[in-house]
Structure 1
């Protein structure tokens, strides 16, 4: 055999998509694993022509699932972000949109049995240590995908998947504010460095001469902005204790502006070398936390909520995303939990093939 076949389920999770594997079907060591994922996705070509990737960062994501080793959780979710062209794999971050498909994929793979009506699945995000409870629609013990829930960035309607995030503060850096400051100044730009669900560097759009309402294409075409943003992101990563982040997708970068419509605040999220076409689930939590925290770069952009939980509506390039945040403001901002509603759909299943020279498989 000149190729190795690896079973997978191909899922759309939220506004991302990619292969979902059983962790046990992949090599254990990270170096070989990375080579396998690069080959499977087709990283190294703008169209991922020699793999199953879709030519964008939101379609070159991978989920690896197993029965959890954590006493609290049912499923361990190990995420990998594969680059489109650079043949790199980043195992540091997690992805909340791909997380949306973890529950359905785990049921499809036989890693757990559905309950009647609604199946509650406790998920351990291996990369960051975050804990998430997903509520999946399983009427009469059957997994369904059809429903009436719409999310911006995905056509049509589908069954809702409710996600509640816990333990997401400081998961990557050990601190809510990794630099110890509500604001830092880097290259003349005020930023807030925050670690909630994903470590981020956040700035005001106006400080870059932007409105914050630009389309993805307008931002992606602004080479001067991206060059300055990347320099600030790298410098901030070092201040956040993350070392040299020049080849890592974290920390992410985000821009905030007052709302242009009926939302709470306008936001743009970067992956970080392209603009996210919608909004990352993890990023939405961090952006919402920044907007709610007094003294950050978001001060004055929206009226602070009077009670918890608070529903924040983030305006993004394709519409809006709602984030339900439970918090305490008695002694500064303390995030307790964040909830979102996403959808997912199974697109295909079978085997993806990689050259045996990269990995001959088990027992070879």
Structure 2
């Protein structure tokens, strides 16, 4: 018996992340078989993911499963999967905004959608959220363009722009733009012995926004500079939101935990640039349970943050100093600045409607080939966690 199975794979960069792209027909449909397959493919659980394709980082342990559209208003289906690194977890909770930018490029290169020059719009049905995302891809000579003058902080050089339209993604996780019904709530944090204000907003990806100062930090810290108690407090807030909004208790990623502070100068993770307070509307850091910080900023999180910044009473609007819009919100993150346009309409009270959300990324195919997955890993009965 052949001890390994062959799997066609493509490695794509989308924004500040990388993901293994798989065709839907190459992925097991049974949930437990799919869990074992993805863990084996990525070499998880292992802090180095040395026996698989994982990059040993939350930004590179990602998978995109692409299939034919399951609804008439889409060109393709896209399922995003976050693979655990040192834990045997496989999460279908969220849509990755950075990786979604690569789905349109992939669809055109795979001839799943006909190329139209100079720009092809690909309608992407994200199965994680049930929402339609629209990708405007620059094309020339029958192919998506690679070279261009679009810059993404956290990605070296420049590339061809991919414009993402997330205007129809309100309530992606909870069904409501303001899941608790208000712009601000108060949550008791055990380590502080008191309540702190938070804002829960759901567009693109559900997020809970926390003032960095309330946790005793400046908000300009970089990955590796926060103590474990900060992550523990942020996780306690996340669990409160999960219970308050009736989200699955098995989830490990949602809502995103975003630390917010007022605009201030800070040095980027690369150390070669100081972001000036005049360049940004506020500083933001995404943290995850277990002690990890996003090295840039998640695309879905940026969608949510740009909208939250235009809703009166939220933590981001407070840090920005105004909720005036529509406008391009400038997010200061560990790798630089991310700019995202949002237009939010106020209907009175806590009634807010998202009219537009747009941002740009660059994306590129990095590798095509065959992965070899050990059959013994697929037949094992070891435990893993799906969420």
TM class, shorter-length: over 0.9
Q: Does 1:218 align with 2:225?
A: yes
How many angstroms apart in 2 are the aligned matches of 1:64 and 1:137? 23
Match of 2:212 in 1: 205
CA spacing shift, 1:142–1:298, aligned 2, 3 Å: closer
Unaligned runs of 5+ in 1: none
CA-to-aligned-CA distance 1:53-110 (integer Å, 9 cap, x gap): 1111111100000121211110110111101110110112110111011011122323
Counterpart residue number, 1:103? 104
Which of 262, 279, 287 lines up with 2:297 in the alignment? 279
Is 2:294 aligned against 1:296? no
CA drift of 1:272 comes to 4.6
Q: Distance in 2 between matches of 1:107 and 1:148?
A: 21
State the Cα distance separating 1:181 from its structure 2 match: 2.8
Using the size of structure 2 for normalisation, the TM-score is 0.88
Residues 97 and 298, structure 2, Cα contact 8 Å, conserved in 1: yes
Distance 1:307 1:286 in 2: 15
Query: Which is strand-richer, 1 or 2?
Result: 2
Task: Count residues in correspondence.
Answer: 356
What residue number does 1:356 align with? 375
- 1:250 and 2:254 equivalent? yes
Q: How does 1:99-138 map to 2 (within 5 A)?
A: 99-138=100-139
The answer (yes or no) to whether the contact 2:171–2:177 under 8 Å persists in 1 is yes
Q: Distance in 2 between matches of 1:46 and 1:122?
A: 36
Deviation at 1:5, TM superposition (A): 0.9
Runs of 4+ off more than 6 Å: none
Give the 3-state SS of the residue equivalent to 2:148 in structure 1. coil
Q: What residue number does 1:268 align with?
A: 285
Matched residue, 1:329: 346
Aligned-partner SS, 1:166: coil
Alpha-carbon separation, structure 2, partners of 1:73 and 1:337: 19
Matches within 5 A, 1:15-54: 15-54=16-55
The Cα shift of 1:154 comes to 0.7
> 1:289-327 CA distances to partner (integer Å, 9 max, x unpaired)?
22211112234322436443x111111111010111122
Cα–Cα, structure 1 residues 250 and 305, in superposed 2: closer, same or farther, change >3 Å?
closer
Distance in 2 of aligned mates of 1:300 and 1:357: 54
CA shift digits 1:135-165 (9 cap, x unpaired): 1111132222122211011111111111011
Report the secondary structure of 1:248's partner residue.
coil
* C-alpha contact 1:150 1:157 (8 A) present in aligned 2: yes
TM-score (norm 1): 0.94
Q: Structure 2: where are the runs of 5+ without partners?
A: 189-194, 265-276, 380-387
